[in-house]
Every structure is written in C-alpha cells, then in structure tokens.
Structure 1
C-alpha cells in the first residue's frame, strides 16, 4: 500500500490538513509524534492509519527502524515529510536517504536557522542590516552602548518560529533587558539583532519545482500593536500595483536562487521600505494556521495537496481556478485564566460570506495574552467581491465570539 510518513504534526492548521489530505489522496497515512497527548487522543485523528510515539524524533535510527517495519508490513514508502519546525529538512534528508524524490535539503537547512540565512543572503539588496551577539567579545552593557544609536532593533532567537522569542526594543534599557532575557533562556545560543523596518508586511507562499519558481499567493498581514509581532489579520490578494508586484517577484526569485532551492516549498515575510523590498523572515515550509483555507478560498488551489504532490515527485498544479477576496481575522485575549466556555461560534458562522469559524482551546485550557502565534485562540475567514467587504464581514462576525475565563 502506498504510504506517506509524516514527522510531527500539530492538532490543527496546515500540518493537520496534510494528514487528512494524504488520506483523501488514497495514501496509507502514518504519523510519527513526540507528543503523548496525540497518542491519547488518537481516536480524534481518523485520517491517520497509524500513529507511532517517538520520544526523540531526531533519533534517526529509531525513525528508520519504524519505516523499515512499515516496509516489512508491505507498505510502499512514497514520501517522508514534515510541515512543522524543526523537522522539515530532517524529514527531507530521510526521504533522500530512502531514494525518494529529492528536495533541496541544503536550502531547507539554511532557512531553518535565522543567523544562517541572514549570513547566506547578506549581499542581496533585500537583506536588512543585522549583527549577531555572541556574548564572547563584548558584555551586554558594552554591546548595548555600542548599538544604541541604531535603535529601535529586533532581537531574535535564531531557531524561533511563530513569533516566539522575537522582541522589539526601542530604548537602551529594553535592549539590555532583551539580551539578558534571551541569554538566560538560551544560554548557548547567539542572538540575532536586526534593524527595525517600518512598513506593511506581506506573506508570500512559494513552490519551486525543477528550478521553476511559483509565487502561489501574496497576502497582506496585519500586525498587532506591541512588541511581539502577532499577526491578527490576513488579506488575500494583497493590493499591489503591477510594477510593485513585479519588483516583489524579482526580489523573491533572487532569494530562492541564492538559496539554490530547486525543489521545495517556503514562505517569506517581506516589507516594502522606501520602494525597496526587504526580507523579514523565511521558513522552509508553507505557513501554518489557516493559510491553506485562505489560499483555497481565494484561488481554488489546495496548497497542502500540491505540496504533497511535489514531495511525491509529481508536478503541482498551481493555476488559480477563481479569484476571490479573503480576509482572516485571528482572535487573542488580554488576560490570563482558565477557559470556562466560548460562545458565539454559531452566530459568527451564520454571517453571510463567512466560510469558516475555528476555536482552538478546549474547556479548562489555560489561556494567556499573546506571546507567540500559538496564543491566537480563534479565527474567522470571510470572502467577498472586494477586500473591504471581506474584512468588514470577518471583523463583525468575530465580535460574536466571547471567551469566558476564571482568572488565575
């Protein structure tokens, strides 16, 4: 039986959709996970034929042993893939060792670590100014004094994802506090320091096959006020004039070519600064959360499915079958507490133009104000004939959703 092996998955979002899509495509679907709660909740994963607990997913001998057992059980391994950090290049390397479709593993490795891709792309015009704090040559005090004229700055843990451990610092005291916080939390890791670029942020989904680069979707992001860069709104398609769009395409192609991504997927976050595109982030996978549904509603393209086809060695079909304006509104909360109940989901779902309402946490979960994208607790996706109307519908519907908490 033709089989796809997934390394890691979240309970929802792109990685979960990949499991159900694999099953829909007719593949025997195997999930390797290091999350014990998924094993306990395996009845909630009817799309998965086999879930295997692996304490350390990076133990390649164990993973290969599991795959070998599948082969002995007459399963034909067609792909080994991961849609979540930090397993993307690791799964691709295993796939390569098994003689399956060859994706550009070296490019994926570069994208998985922020100092690595910054150094690799530093000669490109899209690269912002940056430096790396190692804590070996200068103390935090000396470094802060040397760099205070460059404030505001962004501090990043190099292997963070989902806006975790990404800090905006605007004063010298915040710079010192931020460095101390990251040094304490990750004592053996450098800290990436970047110039802060003011401007609208855009997310670009990319697939490369045999060196052919396709920008599948360009989506405008709305970032919440604060120092944690939580994305609370996504608007598809981004409203860019033709010249600006072509300049973005050229910038993206220069990045992908510099990384030598011949076969693979990634998503980039970029800002337009004084008429020039600058790279904020790049990740070696498609974006998580509701991204697949946003693109599907806007274009008719199931990007999860086309990504799986790429990893299976097939040609992805990326022709849009429709063009609809989509707005996704994510909800966060401003306090900490234990969830008692959530109301308004059905009301929100009944709004004309609303395509999906999703509430993530269960009763009894501990909720908090947002420190990362994982602290977004619901979303509403709406479509309309124009971007303003799609946004208005999503915002109005989202106001129906109420979280009731017992404070802690």
Structure 2
C-alpha cells in the first residue's frame, strides 16, 4: 500500500492541508505525533489512517524502528515529510535513510536554528547586525555588550511562531526580557538582533533541482503591543517593480549561499531604506491560513504541490495570481475562560468572505497574544483590489465576539 509518513502536524493549517492532500492523492497516511491530546481527539483526524505516538520525535533509533515496522506490515513508504518545526530536518534525514527523494538536508538543518542561519549568512548584505549571547554569560556582561545598540530584538534560536521573540527598547526592558528567557531556557543561547523598522513580507519558495519558484509574496500586518504577532496577511503584496526585482535578487542570493537546491521554505524579510533584510528563514511553508490564502487567490494548493515535489512526482508550476486576498486574525485583550463565541454566521454571510475559522472550544482558557498560537480566529476575504479585500475582512472580523469568564 502506497504510504506517506508525516512527522508532526497541527490540527489545522498548512500541515493538516498536506495530510488531506495525501489522502486525496490516494496514499495511506501515517502520522507520528508527540501530542497525546490528538489521541483523545482521534475522531477529528479522519484523513490520518494510522496515528503513532512517540514522546520523542527527534532522529533516533525508536523512530527508525517504527518506520521500519511499517514496511514490515506491508506499507510501501513513498514519502517522509514534515511541515512542522523542528521536524523538517528529521523527516529529510528519514527520507535519505529510506532512499527516497533527496532534499537539501544541510540547508534545512541550518534553517531550523536561527543562530546557524545568521552565522552561515554573516557576510551576506541581507543579514542585520546580531550578537549571540552564550547561556552561561552573566547579565552584567550582556548589558555591557548591548547597551549602545538599543532597540534590539531577543530570540531563542529554535523558537517559532513568534514565541520567545521580545522587542526591547531600554536596559530595563532588556534585563526583564533576558531574565525571562533565561528562566524558561536556562541552557540556550540568546540571539540578539538589531531592530529593523519597516514593512515585513513573507516569501514562499519552492526549489526543484536548483530552480527557484516564487510561490508568493505576502505583506504582513504586525501588532507590536505584546510581541511580534501577525494579525493580517495581504496577498499578493503590492510592490514597485524595482523593489520586487531587488527582492528576487536578494532571495536568490540567500538561497544560493544556503546551498538550498531542493525543498520548500519561506523567508520573512523587511524592506529597510531600500535594502531587503532577512528577519528569518524557515524550512517549510508558513503555517496557519497561508495555504488557504494562496489557494483562494490562485487556485493552487501549495501544500499539495510541495508534497508532490517531495514524492518526486513533478516539478513546480509557476503561480499566476488571480485575485487579492486578505486574512485577518483575531486575538483577545484579557485572559479568561471561554464562555461562548458569537458572530461567526454573520461574518460568513458577508459578501466576499471566503472563510471564517474559529479555533478554541468552550471552556478553553484564552490569553493575551504572546505567540502566534494565541490567535483564536481568522477571517479570509477575496476581492478585485487589495483595499476591498481588507475592508471586507475587517468588517467581518468585527462581527466575531469572544465572551470570557475572568480567572
């Protein structure tokens, strides 16, 4: 039986879209997960034909043994893939071990750690000023090292989804942020970067045999109130011809330096004083609604196309935008237990709205946004102009109300 192995998934978003795509293509789908709650909600994963729980999903003997057991049970493994940090590199190594399609494993390894990325691209013009603070470095030493460089951004090298990314504008804020990360990650280094003030964009990339395809350029709307939380996505981004040409050249140069010749990734970049600067690069398609945003605009299921690339079925087709799409995410301003959510049907009924997604269940504890995981709903709208798509999405989002019981 033709089988695809997935290492990790989220309940919704691009990673789940890929599993559904595999089922649509006629494959037996196997999911390795380290999330016990997925087994309690097993009936919510009808597209997963076999779910296997492992506490540790790193590349280890137990994982390899379970993979080999699938073959012994008659499963003909055609692909091993992950759309989730930090398992992309693990899946690529498993693919190599099984003699399947070879991805740019070394580049994926570099991308999964922000300090590896920065050090590898240290001389590239897209790299901002940065410092790596070792885990054993005392606070006084670190303050002395950065005191003349504020404002700065603090990051944990393996964080994702804007978790543990802190903007600091003063020594006091640096001290608080530094100590907070130290308590949470006592053995991790801390990456300190200059704060780049400019519009931020996501660039979705697919590379096949060294040929780079730009699957989409998306403008992000970021809320800095608590952390770097993206609340809006505009696709396709509106750029001048010169800015777009410079972006293509910069991204192409970055991928060449990373020795990335096969696979998918997305870059987050800011246009600062006429120069494209790299915020980060991740070895996968963006999560959340990204796959739906691109599909609504172009009709192309990017998660599915990436899956085909991993299976060696075809090279990627160039995307031609069809319409403008805007996705607006909703957060809450206080912490509490969810009593109810209203307005979903009213929002869905507004002309131009393509999807309204609400994540939490009744009784869930909601918090102010400290990471992308603290976004609790989104509205996706499409129109003939970017302004109209955004207007529709924002109008629909106002219909959705969260009712919380304070803790």
Moved more, 310-319 or 187-196: 310-319
* Pairing 1:89–2:89 present: yes
- Cα pair 2:206 2:316 within 8 Å, conserved: no
- Cα pair 2:338 2:403 within 8 Å, conserved: yes
* RMSD between aligned residues: 1.1
Q: Give the Cα–Cα distance (whole angstroms) in 2 for the partners of residues 4 and 225 of structure 1.
A: 39
Show structure 1 runs of 5+ residues with no match. Answer: none
Superposed, which structure 2 residues align to 1:252-263 within 5 Å? Answer: 252-263=251-262
Structure 2 counterpart of 1:31: 31
So what's the TM-score if we normalise by structure 2?
0.98
Structure 1 counterpart of 2:118: 118
- Cα pair 2:359 2:376 within 8 Å, conserved: yes
- Cα pair 1:15 1:288 within 8 Å, conserved: yes
Alpha-carbon offset, residue 58 of structure 1 = 1.9
Structure 1 counterpart of 2:330: 331
Matched residue SS, 1:149: coil
* Pairing 1:213–2:212 present: yes
Q: Give the Cα–Cα distance (whole angstroms) in 1 for the partners of residues 367 and 268 of structure 2.
A: 26
Matched residue SS, 2:21: helix
Structure 2 counterpart of 1:347: 346
* Pairing 1:8–2:8 present: yes
Alpha-carbon offset, residue 175 of structure 1 = 1.1
Structure 2 counterpart of 1:19: 19
Structure 2 counterpart of 1:63: 63
Superposed, which structure 2 residues align to 1:21-170 within 5 Å? Answer: 21-58=21-58, 60-134=60-134, 136=136, 139-170=138-169
C-alpha offsets along residues 153-197 of structure 1, whole Å, 9 cap, x if unaligned? 000011000000000000011112211111121111111000000
Alpha-carbon offset, residue 227 of structure 1 = 4.4
Structure 1 counterpart of 2:373: 374
Structure 1 counterpart of 2:277: 278
* Pairing 1:314–2:309 present: no
Q: Give the Cα–Cα distance (whole angstroms) in 1 for the partners of residues 72 and 133 of structure 2.
A: 49
C-alpha offsets along residues 1-33 of structure 1, whole Å, 9 cap, x if unaligned? 111000111111111111111101111011111
C-alpha offsets along residues 117-174 of structure 1, whole Å, 9 cap, x if unaligned? 00000111000000111154x5312321342221100000110000000000000111
- Cα pair 2:226 2:369 within 8 Å, conserved: no
Alpha-carbon offset, residue 320 of structure 1 = 2.8
Moved more, 56-65 or 286-295: 56-65
C-alpha offsets along residues 13-61 of structure 1, whole Å, 9 cap, x if unaligned? 1111111111011110111111111112111111111111112122632
Q: Give the Cα–Cα distance (whole angstroms) in 2 for the partners of residues 120 and 58 of structure 1.
A: 23
* Pairing 1:186–2:189 present: no
C-alpha offsets along residues 204-234 of structure 1, whole Å, 9 cap, x if unaligned? 0001100001111000000013241100000
Structure 2 counterpart of 1:293: 292
Moved more, 139-148 or 247-256: 139-148
Matched residue SS, 2:110: helix
C-alpha offsets along residues 265-319 of structure 1, whole Å, 9 cap, x if unaligned? 1111000010000000110101000000000111222110011011101224333
Q: Give the Cα–Cα distance (whole angstroms) in 2 for the partners of residues 375 and 165 of structure 1.
A: 13
Show structure 2 runs of 5+ residues with no match. Answer: none
Moved more, 109-118 or 43-52: 43-52
Moved more, 117-126 or 170-179: 170-179
- Cα pair 1:301 1:319 within 8 Å, conserved: no
- Ranges of 4+ aligned residues in structure 1 off by more than 3 Å: none
Alpha-carbon offset, residue 390 of structure 1 = 0.2
Q: Give the Cα–Cα distance (whole angstroms) in 2 for the partners of residues 353 and 121 of structure 1.
A: 42
Change in Cα spacing, 1:321 to 1:196, as seen in structure 2 (3 Å) is closer
Q: Give the Cα–Cα distance (whole angstroms) in 1 for the partners of residues 368 and 58 of structure 2.
A: 32
Change in Cα spacing, 1:244 to 1:321, as seen in structure 2 (3 Å) is closer
Alpha-carbon offset, residue 115 of structure 1 = 0.6
- Cα pair 1:128 1:279 within 8 Å, conserved: yes
* Pairing 1:226–2:222 present: no
Q: Give the Cα–Cα distance (whole angstroms) in 2 for the partners of residues 143 and 44 of structure 1.
A: 47
Query: How many pairs align?
Result: 407
